[in-house]
Amino acid sequence: MAPTPPRELLRRARRPWIVGSVAIAATVALVAGLLLALPGGAASSDVATVSVTNAQCGGGMSLAHGGPRTFSVVNTSRRANEVLLENSSGGVVAGIAVLGPGTTVNMTADLGGGTYSFNCFSDAGQYSSTLRVSGSTNGAPGVQLVTEDMLIGPNDSYLTYAAGQLAAVATDVTAIEQALGSGNLAAARSEWLTAMTDWERVGASYDSFGADGEAVDGLPGGLAGGVNDPQFTGLHRLEYGLWHGQSASTLLPVAQALANNIGVLQVNLASDDVAGDPTNLPTRAHEILEDALRDHLSGIDDFGAGAEYAETAADLQVTRTVLSDLAPLIASRAPHLLPTADAQMNALQRALSATQVDGQWENSDQISQADHERVDAAIGALLQTLSAVPDLLQVAGTGAGSD
């Protein structure tokens, strides 16, 4: 069995559902006053304790008065749960993304008179109980849950875009093959940069395309032979050879294998095993640039070309595309997020463009420390904003007990 690529191990580990006995609950304060899993800080003098058991969600109370309320939610079940409090219109007025077994988290809501439902989602399924609230006041309207159906259209739009980008990559790789076939290593290096940036514009982040994507842009970490291991294939294998003195005849079979792997990915692009799950799209909106920060700007995936800034600029372009596809869903739930992100994307673009000389990308070793720092600051601010998108557009039932 081949070793698991380090990037895949990191991707699996990066979703910190539970640490010890403390629930890690996502907080999205951008959502029209909706506070998700706010620990402590009761909104009123009385805190009502409700329980989550193996058979009941929100047990312990069925009546409440209107106004700001804090619920201390205790999970006595054996499973992690996603806990939502919804009004009769289906709007979420409070929620806990992940409530671990044996943990307690407060959630706060402004309740008007009417009927509400505590809904719990775990790997055992969905279960709920009803809460009736007295009074005639109007509470918070709540945020409508995102459903998988709402994400199908944006995901289809993204896949159409990605298919076009993959076609461009296939053309680029053909040009690399031709350059290598004629022994022109300088031309092959130039075509490699075009292929690499076109690949980044596809938006494959955190190994989201599985083994098909790993064959195209995999790294040698974890492979017994390192850069000389036969399983080290794809664009970075070509990069290593092109910038480490390997001959055109040595690299031509690598390019030919890459062309074949691009073709496989084109065929499988819309499959469930690659990119067919629409619920992954909101995560991609954040992870594409997070991947750039982790791999490109750190130098982890630089095998000689020094193309980190060109690659990051390409990642910025596809991030704009994904956000555009998701814009209607984001704008209706967090109106200020997209204008903030747009300004920050423009700032990152300016910082990246400042590293060019006469419109050409420089090797990262030739870029000043000040320019490095401006790019790092700009991408950090943008990632902080984009980190809200996956939780904002999370489909109910995917917060707990999911990989």
Q: Cα–Cα distance between 74 and 51 in angstroms, integer?
A: 5
Residues 322 and 210 in one domain: yes
Q: Is 59 left (phi over 0), alpha (psi -120 to 50) or beta?
A: beta
Give the end of a domain, one of 119, 144, 169.
Answer: 144
Give the end of a domain, one of 144, 169, 193.
Answer: 144
333-341 average pLDDT score:
93
Which residues constitute the domain of residue 70? 20-144
Residues 188 and 119 in one domain: no
> Lowest-pLDDT range, 40-49, 98-107, 242-251, 369-378?
40-49
DSSP 4: P
182-186 average pLDDT score:
98
Residues 252 and 328 in one domain: yes
Number of domains in the chain: 2
Q: Is residue 2 part of a domain?
A: no
Residues 325 and 379 in one domain: yes
Tens of pLDDT, residue by residue over 122-169, are 887 777 888 999 877 677 677 778 889 999 999 999 999 999 999 999
Report the chain's mean pLDDT, rounded to a whole number. Answer: 85
Q: Is residue 163 part of a domain?
A: yes
Q: Is residue 7 part of a domain?
A: no
DSSP 293: I
Residues 27 and 124 in one domain: yes
Residues 269 and 333 in one domain: yes
Please give the angle made by the CA atoms of 62, 67 and 69, to the nearest 5 degrees.
60
pTM tops 0.85? no
Could you tell me which residue, 37 or 178, shows the higher pLDDT? 178
Token pair for 305 = 């070309």
Q: Check pLDDT > 50 for residue 34.
A: no
* DSSP annotation string for 54-109: SS-EEET-SEEESEEEEEEEEE-SSS-EEEEEEETTSEEEEEEEEE-TT-EEEEEE
Residues 328 and 360 in one domain: yes
Residue 256 CB-density burial (10 A; 0-12 exposed, 13-18 middle, 19+ buried): middle
Q: Is residue 4 part of a domain?
A: no
Side by side, the strands of the sheet bearing 114-122 are 63-65, 125-134, 114-122, 81-87, 91-99, 143-144
Residues 116 and 158 in one domain: no
The gap between the terminal CA atoms of the chain, to the nearest Å, is 22
**Which are the contacts of 4, defined by CB distance < 8 A and separation ≥ 6?**
222
pLDDT of residue 397: 62
Q: Check pLDDT > 90 for residue 261.
A: yes
Radius of gyration of the chain (CA): 24
CATH number at residue 57: 2.60.40.420
Q: Check pLDDT > 50 for residue 38.
A: no
Give the end of a domain, one of 90, 112, 144.
Answer: 144
375-386 average pLDDT score:
96
Please give the angle made by the CA atoms of 198, 201 and 203, to the nearest 5 degrees.
135
pLDDT of residue 219: 95
Residue 259 CB-density burial (10 A; 0-12 exposed, 13-18 middle, 19+ buried): middle
Q: Is residue 336 part of a domain?
A: yes
Q: Check pLDDT > 90 for residue 392.
A: no
Q: Is residue 5 part of a domain?
A: no
Residues 309 and 171 in one domain: yes
Residues 60 and 190 in one domain: no
CATH number at residue 235: 1.20.1420.20
The 3-class SS string of 6-18 reads: HHHHHHHHCCCCE
Residues 104 and 179 in one domain: no
Q: Check pLDDT > 80 for residue 223.
A: yes
Residues 49 and 165 in one domain: no
Q: Is residue 137 part of a domain?
A: yes
Residue 387 CB-density burial (10 A; 0-12 exposed, 13-18 middle, 19+ buried): middle
Q: Is residue 304 part of a domain?
A: yes
